[in-house]
Amino acid sequence: MSSRPSANEIFMDQLPNQSRDRRRQCSASTHGEGEGQQKAKLETRLVRQSLRTRHVSFISLAGAIGGGLFLSTGSTLAHAGPISLLVGYAIMSSVVISVVFCMAELSCLVPTTGAYIRHAAMFVDPALGFTIGWSIVFADAVANPAGIVSLIVLCQYWAPDLDAALPVCFFVLASLVTNIWDVRVYAELESFFAMLKILTVIGLNILSLCVALGAGRHGKTVGFRYWTEPAPFKAYLVDGPIGQFIGFWSVMVSAVYSYSGIEATSFIAAETRSPRQVIARASKGVFFRVGFIYMCSLFFLSMAVSSTEPRLTSQEGNALASPFVIAANRVGITGIASIVNALILLSVFSSNNTCLLAASRALMGLALDGHAPRFFAETHRWGIPMWGVLVCAAFMPLAFTVYSQEASIVFEYFVSIGASGTLMEWIVICWTTVRLHSGMREQGISQESLPFCPWGQPWLAWYGLVMSVLCAVTNGFTLFIGEGLPRLTAQRLISAYAMPIITILLYLAFKIIRRTRFIQSRDMRIRPWLDQWKENPEQWIEPARGWGRLLSLLWSHD
């Protein structure tokens, strides 16, 4: 009779077909370890842990500073007024920080490929992991072609007669090449984009402050006059206090798009050196980076540009609608439009790269859990899930089919779909964290025993969950109110609520077919991951000290 296979052999059979040498290497290096430790080590062998703290910090920063800051804030200022803009973004910044802390807490406990897709399957319900995983793949498959359309529009700012085929082919190939090579190529490119964005934002903030103080050919000091003229809180769609609240809440919903992509850092946790230390430190820096960059930018911007400026609601879809460009043009400074247009182009291209990376890692995580074909978990010698990248990139040429739409309409759909998809991810991250803490209480595990547990948990997770649900429900609410009713079309309605509906339908279908059960608090496998962390300590990364510690809150260097 043949001997019974070991747990290691059973797990090896579940892996995709890797090379014979890699199988032997994995089997030999994990001999005699527990099943949880084996699984963690075997999965990290599929990818290369080559990213450092600065890579993760810059990737999160590049995700936070997107085209929304340079473009969509203009229409938001026009609809809601300066104080609504500041307060709305401040509140949404707090939601983002709570989501990032929840994401970091989960990733530090279980730094696995697939990130919160697999965390949801571990601590909530396998059906939820399946659902959010395929929802991410679908959202990114839709967002990438729309993003390329935005890139075409931005390119045509300089060359109005440019044939769309050329930029489509160029950006598809550029995104593909960036994601097929070593993950460090993507990380270094995002680091470059992040540094460029930081320097440009600092310059634009100085410009906005100078405009408010009377610089330029007019020499008129504005100060805080635009905060009261015509009103700090503008009524939107309907008159009176209700209209003012609608304007304020529309800021909250539109701000989600500006912050979308910041959660993508969890997908590279398994590809990071000393992931628990790196993810924890990067998440702490998000609080200061988001607060410093966004709130300072919006503060100076609200001083320099009036909410009654008609160009804020321009339908151009390029830098001409950017409030920074409007502020510069008002005082006779030329050339800023091209700089901002180039920065928006880089932001959208960066977002496309991140979408492709997140979708390919999501497919890899789904494959490792048996929810996608097994070949999506295969990696080449650089540790990249090649098949996942190629399949997700195959949707990008759909930009040819959607380019016939008006540019502003395509950008609007892009914002709406991206925001609703992001909110679904935030909801899952926060709900998974809530369930994790429920399991810890049931099993008598203290929060101090976690590799990383931010202050305020689990109430921080509850706050992020409630706010994300409210924003998801009201994502398209302006279509049903007052002057917004003429804009109510099937396309706008679908783009606002497609992702929540798809998520719910996928979850119900998987529950009915697979008959999965909601994981009870007492059944959660938390202690094995704590044991794996304690028995396999990471190489210590020396933190910065003195002034370097203060600087690292904004600019990580190791």
pLDDT tens column, 166-224:
888 888 888 888 888 888 888 888 888 888 888 888 888 888 888 888 776 666 777 78
Band the pLDDT of 25: cuts 50, 70, 90: very low
**What is the rounded distance in angstroms from the CA atom of residue 285 to the CA atom of residue 347?**
21
How far is the CA of 328 from the CAs of 12, 83, 477, in angstroms? 61, 22, 34
Q: Find which of 33-47, 383-397, 453-467 is predicted with most confidence, using mean pLDDT.
A: 453-467
Nearest to 466 by CA among 268, 252, 167, 313: 252
Which residues 6+ apart lie within 8 Å of 48 measured at CB? 182, 183, 271, 382, 383
Is the separation of the CB atoms in 132 and 118 below 8 Å? no
Which domains can be identified in the chain, with CATH numbers?
Answer: 48-516+532-537 (1.20.1740.10)
Q: Rounded CA gap, 80 and 246, in Å?
A: 8
Q: Distance between CA atoms of 175 and 39, rounded to whole angstroms? A: 31
Of residues 93 and 70, which shows the higher confidence score? 93
Taking the C-alpha atoms of residue 304 and residue 337, their distance in angstroms, rounded to an integer, is 16
The burial class, CB within 10 Å (0-12 / 13-18 / 19+), for 217 is exposed
Q: What is the pLDDT of residue 323?
A: 86
The most confident of the ranges 14-23, 59-68, 189-198, 442-451 is 442-451
Q: Could you give the CA distance from residue 276 to residue 175 in angstroms, rounded to a whole number? A: 28
**Per-residue confidence band for 434, with pLDDT thresholds at 50, 70 and 90:** very high
The reported pTM is 0.85
Q: Which residue has the higher pLDDT, 25 or 242?
A: 242
Q: Which pLDDT band holds residue 14 (cuts at 50, 70, 90)?
A: very low
Instruction: Give me the DSSP letters along 468-534.
Output: HHHHHHTTTGGGGSGGGGGG--HHHHHHHHHHHHHHHHHHHHHHHHH---PPPGGG---HHHHHHHH
When pLDDT is cut at 50, 70 and 90, the band that residue 429 belongs to is very high
Q: How many CB atoms lie within 10 A of CB 388?
A: 28
Q: Looking at the predicted structure, is the pLDDT value of residue 62 above 70?
A: yes
Find residue 272's DSSP bridge partners: 51
**pLDDT value for 29:** 40
Residue in the structure block whose two tokens are 């880089």: 346
Examine the pLDDT at 288 and tell me if it is beyond 50: yes
Distance CA 528, CA 450 (A): 12
| DSSP 8-state assignment for residue 33 | S
Query: What average pLDDT score do residues 384-403 get?
Result: 79
Count CA atoms within 13 Å of residue 316 on its CB side.
Answer: 19
Running DSSP on this structure, what letter comes out for residue 433? Answer: H
